[in-house]
């Protein structure tokens, strides 16, 4: 049984395209695309590495958003699933000799299976109980990885980049292409029947069930899609780092990704993108502030790291207090203002 008639969905999507795809936005997206394609040719290694981290964070944040933002479930096992994706990529390449472009999607499938395996027995849980279940998953996965010699245990394992993308610039373009494909898929999922079913479950699960939506099936699909995206992010992270250990996937990594969703905006693909870019790039600006005021040598690296943590906390609290819809909500307000200017209310 459909939530709404198919004719209504088609009319709604057509009207939405008319409102969203105006010429200025298309020009802006074109300019942004050209900048992203041109930037690696001029950037140094630090900027290029930061850009790679941001793109990987975009993929991981979108994956977590499927569960937390779209379907309204609680998950704090993001770091564990990224570890599964990273180690799966490393094992498939190192132990079985698969090429990177084959090992990466397979790692996503393996992580999706692990997410479904965890999600199935916890479908009836919600709130604090679901959070504790996913919290336990993190430590179980990290403990298994740390003690399993097949995947390197505490020593870790090396991950080779594909031969055609061994350099930072070529790997940037490969990561950018993968990210663009997954972002396009995420937008399609968001506006599909599955995405609307997730929204109905998130907002009123009892009403959604009365409308004929299978809560168990669609919650499980959210876990599957989330696991796939997070597994891909983990595999890209492994190739970016070139060598991974369990210490690369601390619990704080989960907190960072949850912060990305809070800052960017829950329940929207664009919000996940905004939040990933903001949380990845803005704290790095703290490193350059002392140099701007002539105090670069007087501040220790430990103090700078503490400053980044403080900034992270201030951003989260400020977003919850003054921008509960996140950066996506601010972006929508700005677009609405210019769309109706000079008759804006």
Domain range holding 331? 252-345
Task: Answer with the one of 228, 249, 270 that is the final residue of a domain.
Answer: 249
Same domain flag for 93 and 210: yes
Task: Answer with the one of 218, 249, 280 that is the final residue of a domain.
Answer: 249
Total domains in the fold of the chain: 2
Structure-block tokens of residue 210: 């009365």
pTM to 2 decimals? Answer: 0.86
Same domain flag for 167 and 312: no
Same domain flag for 157 and 211: yes
Question: Is the distance from CB of 264 to CB of 331 less than 8 angstroms?
Answer: no
Question: Is the distance from CB of 182 to CB of 229 less than 8 angstroms?
Answer: yes
The CA dihedral of 130, 135, 136, 140, to the nearest 10 degrees, is 140
Structure-block tokens of residue 26: 């298309």
Structure-block tokens of residue 167: 């350099």
Same domain flag for 261 and 325: yes
Q: Evaluate whether residue 299 is within a structural domain.
A: yes
The per-residue b/e assignment along 269-297, b for 16 or more CB within 10 angstroms, e otherwise, is: bbbbbbbbbbbbeebeebeeebeeeeeee
Task: Answer with the one of 197, 221, 249 that is the final residue of a domain.
Answer: 249
Q: Evaluate whether residue 118 is within a structural domain.
A: yes
The per-residue b/e assignment along 311-339, b for 16 or more CB within 10 angstroms, e otherwise, is: ebeebbeebeeebebbbbbebeeeeeeee
Residue 157 phi, psi (nearest 5): -145, 145
**pLDDT tens series, the chain, 345 aa:** 455 555 545 555 555 555 444 555 666 667 777 877 888 877 788 889 899 999 999 999 999 999 998 988 888 888 999 999 999 999 999 889 899 999 999 999 999 999 999 888 877 777 778 888 888 888 899 999 998 888 878 888 988 888 888 788 899 999 999 999 999 999 999 988 888 999 888 888 888 888 888 888 999 999 999 999 999 999 999 999 999 999 999 998 998 999 899 888 888 898 899 999 888 888 777 776 666 665 555 566 677 667 777 877 787 788 778 878 888 888 888 777 777 776 655
């Amino acid at each position: 049984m459909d939530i709404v008639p198919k004719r209504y969905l088609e009319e709604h999507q057509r009207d939405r395209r008319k409102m969203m795809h105006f010429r200025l936005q298309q020009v802006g997206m074109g300019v942004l695309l050209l900048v992203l394609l041109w930037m690696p040719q001029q950037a140094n290694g630090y900027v290029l590495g930061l850009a790679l981290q941001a793109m990987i964070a975009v993929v991981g944040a979108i994956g977590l958003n499927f569960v937390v933002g779209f379907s309204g479930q609680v998950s704090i096992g993001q770091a564990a699933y990224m570890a599964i994706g990273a180690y799966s990529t490393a094992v498939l390449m190192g132990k079985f000799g698969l090429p990177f472009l084959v090992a990466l999607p397979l790692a996503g499938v393996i992580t999706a299976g692990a997410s479904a395996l965890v999600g199935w027995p916890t479908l009836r849980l919600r709130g604090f109980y679901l959070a504790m279940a996913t919290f336990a998953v993190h430590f179980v996965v990290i403990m298994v990885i740390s003690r399993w010699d097949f995947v390197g245990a505490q020593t870790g394992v090396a991950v080779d980049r594909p031969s055609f993308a061994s350099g930072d610039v070529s790997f940037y373009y490969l990561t950018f292409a993968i990210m663009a494909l997954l972002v396009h898929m995420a937008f399609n999922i968001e506006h599909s029947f599955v995405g609307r079913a997730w929204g109905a479950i998130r907002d009123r699960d009892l009403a959604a069930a009365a409308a004929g939506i299978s809560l168990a099936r669609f919650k499980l699909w959210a876990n599957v899609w989330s696991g796939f995206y997070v597994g891909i992010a983990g595999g890209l992270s492994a190739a970016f780092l070139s060598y991974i250990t369990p210490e690369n996937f601390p619990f704080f990594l989960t907190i960072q990704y949850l912060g990305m969703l809070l800052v960017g905006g829950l329940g929207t693909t664009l919000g996940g993108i905004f939040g990933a870019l903001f949380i990845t790039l803005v704290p790095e600006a703290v490193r350059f502030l002392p140099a701007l005021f002539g105090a670069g040598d007087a501040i220790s690296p430990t103090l700078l790291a503490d400053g980044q943590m403080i900034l992270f906390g201030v951003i989260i609290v400020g977003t919850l207090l003054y921008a509960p819809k996140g950066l996506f909500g601010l972006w929508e307000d700005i677009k609405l203002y210019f769309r109706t200017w000079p008759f804006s209310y």
